[in-house]
Amino acid sequence: MPGWPHDASGLGGLRGAGAGFHAPLLQAAGLTITAIATNSGERVAQASADVPEARIVPDLDALLDHAATDGLDLVVLASPSGVHVEQARQVVEAGVACVVDKPLACDAVSALELVDFAAAEGVPLTVFQNRRYDPQFRTLQEVLRSGTLGELRQTELRWERWRPVPKDRWREQVPPEAGGGLLLDLHTHLIDQLVLLHGPVETVYAELAAWTTAAEDDTFLALRHTGGHRSQVRASTVSGAPGPRVRVQGSLGAYILGSAQGEQTAFPDADGPLGQLGWVVRGPEREPVAAVESDPADFYRAVAAALVSQDPMAGMPVDPSDAVHVLAVIDAARASDRGRRVVDVITPGEAPD
C-alpha cells in the first residue's frame, strides 16, 4: 500500500479534547492543522486563536469537502463519544486516515464493525489512547520489566476525584449508550493500560453507581487476566479522599504512586522526590523510583511515521482491535453489575478458546 503524505491534517468536532489535547500534540509532532470543524462561537474563537492558519468549517461534512478539494491526509475526531462510529465511517468512506478519540465506540460490537469496515476499505484507523504515553505509565512498565517486585501478585489502578457537583458537559448528562459515564471515559485508559501490562482480560466483576450524573460516576472492577494475574481498577468523581493512583504487589515488595497529572490524592508522600515517580516499598523500607521520560506527542509522531510507511494500517501506534477488547471488558462490567456476578469477557471477532 502506498504511503500517505503527512503534511496536512484536520480536527473534527473540536471541543475540550480537541482544544486541550489534540491540537498542541499535532503541532508538537510537526503536523500541520489545515482545517478545524466546530460550530460553537466560543470554540470557533478559541480555535482561530490557537491555530490561526487553519480554516474553520461548521461540521464534518464541510471538513471532508475540504479534504476532497484541497487534500487532507488525516482527520482527528474529538467529538462526543456517541457519534464516533458514525463520524469515523464518514471519514473512512472519504478515504482519509482517521484518529478517533477514545472510546472508539460505545460497545464492542459497534467497534468491531467499524474496525472491519476500515480494514475492508484499506483506510488506516487508530484510537487516541494517549495515556500509554504518560510518564507515570512508562515508569510503571519499567518497574515491572525490571523484576524489582519479584513475582507479580496484584495490580491496582485508580483515577479518583472529588467533584460533588458534576461538570456541565455532555459526558455527565447523557446515558451510557450515548457515551456518558466513567466506563467509557477513564476506564478506557485504565483497562487499556492493564491489558498492556498483563494481557487480555478473561473475567470481570463490577460494582457501578451513578450518584450525581446520568451514567456511572463511581466504579470498581476486579479483573482476571488470561495469564492468571489479578487487577483491580477504580474510578470515581465522588471520592472525598482519592486513593493512590498505582499500587502493585509482588513477592519482593510493592510499588506505589500517589498522584499523577498534577491531581492531588490523600497520599502525597507516595509521589516521591523531584525526578522520581513513586516508591518501591518493603515494609518500613522504601526506595524512590526514577521517572521514565515520555512525550505525549510521540503518539502523533508514530501516526505520521505510519502514514509514510509501506503499511500505514499496520504501523498505527494503537491497533484498533485493542479498543474492541477494552470495550468488551466494559460490556462485561455492565453485565456483571446488573447480574451481581462474575462475567466472562467475550471479545467479538475472536474465536472462543
Which of 4-13, 191-200, 263-272 shows the lowest per-residue confidence on average (mean pLDDT)? 4-13
What pTM did the predictor assign?
A: 0.93
Question: SS3 of 147, please?
Answer: coil
Residue 229: φ, ψ to 5°:
-65, 145
The predicted-structure confidence for 264-305, as pLDDT tens digits, reads as follows: 666 666 666 778 899 999 999 999 999 999 999 999 999 999
The predicted-structure confidence for 100-138, as pLDDT tens digits, reads as follows: 999 999 999 999 999 999 999 999 999 999 999 999 999
Same domain, 65 and 155: no
Better-scored residue on pLDDT, 2 or 249: 249
Q: Does the residue 349 lie in any domain?
A: no
Strand 343-344 relative to strand 201-209, pairing: antiparallel
The predicted-structure confidence for 76-94, as pLDDT tens digits, reads as follows: 999 999 999 999 999 999 9
Same domain, 168 and 205: yes
Same domain, 231 and 271: yes
Compute the Cα dihedral for 302, 308, 310, 316 and give only its sign. Answer: positive
Same domain, 138 and 212: yes
Same domain, 125 and 137: no
Same domain, 162 and 282: yes
The CATH number given to whatever domain includes residue 62 is: 3.40.50.720
Q: Which residues pair with 209 in a beta bridge?
A: 218
Same domain, 20 and 123: yes
Cα gap 280→203, rounded to integer Å: 29
Strand 9-12 relative to strand 74-77, pairing: parallel
Same domain, 74 and 95: yes
Cα gap 329→203, rounded to integer Å: 8
Identity of the amino acid at 284? P
Q: Does the residue 327 lie in any domain?
A: no
Same domain, 118 and 145: no
Cα gap 270→148, rounded to integer Å: 18
Same domain, 162 and 231: yes
Give me the domain span that covers residue 224.
Answer: 132-290
Distance between first and last Cα of the chain: 33
Contact residues for 136 (Cβ-Cβ < 8 A; gap 6+): 245, 246, 257, 260, 261, 277
Q: Does the residue 254 lie in any domain?
A: yes
Residue with cell 482476571: 224
Specify the number of domains making up the chain: 2
Q: Does the residue 186 lie in any domain?
A: yes
Residue 2 has a pLDDT of 33
Same domain, 210 and 269: yes
Cα gap 184→28, rounded to integer Å: 27
Same domain, 38 and 24: yes
Distances (CA, A) of 97 to 33, 54, 123, 142, 293: 14, 19, 6, 32, 29
